[in-house]
Amino acid sequence: MKMTIALCLALAAAALPTGSAVAGPPDRIDICHVDGPAAEPTLKTLPAKPAAKHLESHADDFLAEDGSCEPVQLVKILARATTAHPVTGAPVLVSQLVDANHTGVPDEGDVVQTGQYPIDFVPSALGSFTISDLPVEAVSIASDTTVSVAVTGPSGSTYSYFWEDVPDWERYSEIDSSTSRVQLYDGIGNYINKIHVTTGTPSAADTPTSMTADAGGDDPFIDVVVNPSD
C-alpha cells in the first residue's frame, strides 16, 4: 500500500501546476474504493491528487489494474478441451483444469472450469454445462498425455474427469459408476468418434445427446491438450 500511495503522490505532484503558462489536464488515476468490510470494490477515476488522498484516507482502497478492480490471478492451465464455434470455427472452451493453488501440478485445491460442448460432429450447435468451478478432490492420473481428477457429483458419488491427448484419440469425459456421463471422443486411429452426454454429472449438461461415427481422422468437434501452457 505504501508503494501505491507513493506512486500516486508522485503522479499528483507531477500534475500540479509548475508555473508554466499553460497547464495541461490533470492525470487521472483509476482506483478501487472499498466502502465497508463486506463491500465489493468500485472503480473510481480521479485526478492524481484526490486519488492519492483517497488511498491515504481509505486503508482498503487500492490502485486498479488496467481499469479493473477484478483480482488479478495468473494461473496455469493443466489440461484443456475446446470445440469449434458452429459459425466462426473459433475455439470455445469445453472444460479446463486450472492450477488454482499455483503448485504447477494437478492436485487437490485445483478447479475444473466448464463451458460448452458439441452436440454433433460438425458441430452444428453447442450445449452448455451449467455448473463450473468444480473443486478437485483427488488426482488419479497426471501424465504428459492424460490427466484425471475426482469431483463429487450431485448425488454424492465421485466422478472422474478425464482429459486425454494420445495418437489414437482425443478424449474428454466425466464418468462415475452410474449411467450419468459425458463422453466426447475424437477417434483418430482405429477408434470411432463418440458423443454421449447425459444430465446428472457435476457439470450439469443442459442438452443430452448420443451418437457415434467412424473416426475419419482428427476432427474439430473436440480438441484436447494436456499442459497447453508448457
C-alpha to C-alpha distances, 114 to 135, 143, 216, nearest whole angstrom: 12, 21, 27
Given a contact cutoff of 8 angstroms between Cβ atoms, the answer to whether 44 and 31 are in contact is yes
Using CB under 5 A as the binding rule, whether residue 99 contacts Ca ion is answered as yes
Q: Which is nearer to Ca ion, 103 or 155 (CB)?
A: 103
Using CB under 5 A as the binding rule, whether residue 137 contacts Ca ion is answered as no
Beta-carbon contacts of residue 10 (< 8 Å; ≥ 6 apart): none
**Binding piece for Ca ion, criterion CB under 5 A, among 93-101, 154-162, 191-199, 218-226:** 93-101
Cα separation, 222 vs 211, whole angstroms: 14
Using CB under 5 A as the binding rule, whether residue 110 contacts Ca ion is answered as yes
Using CB under 5 A as the binding rule, whether residue 219 contacts Ca ion is answered as no
Using CB under 5 A as the binding rule, whether residue 177 contacts Ca ion is answered as no
102 conformational bin, left if phi > 0, alpha if psi -120 to 50, beta if neither: left
Q: Which is nearer to Ca ion, 68 or 103 (CB)?
A: 103
Given a contact cutoff of 8 angstroms between Cβ atoms, the answer to whether 124 and 163 are in contact is no
Q: Which is nearer to Ca ion, 51 or 100 (CB)?
A: 100
Applying CB under 5 A, among 107, 141, 142, 188 the residue interacting with Ca ion is 107
| Interacting residues toward Ca ion by CB under 5 A | 99, 101, 103, 107, 110
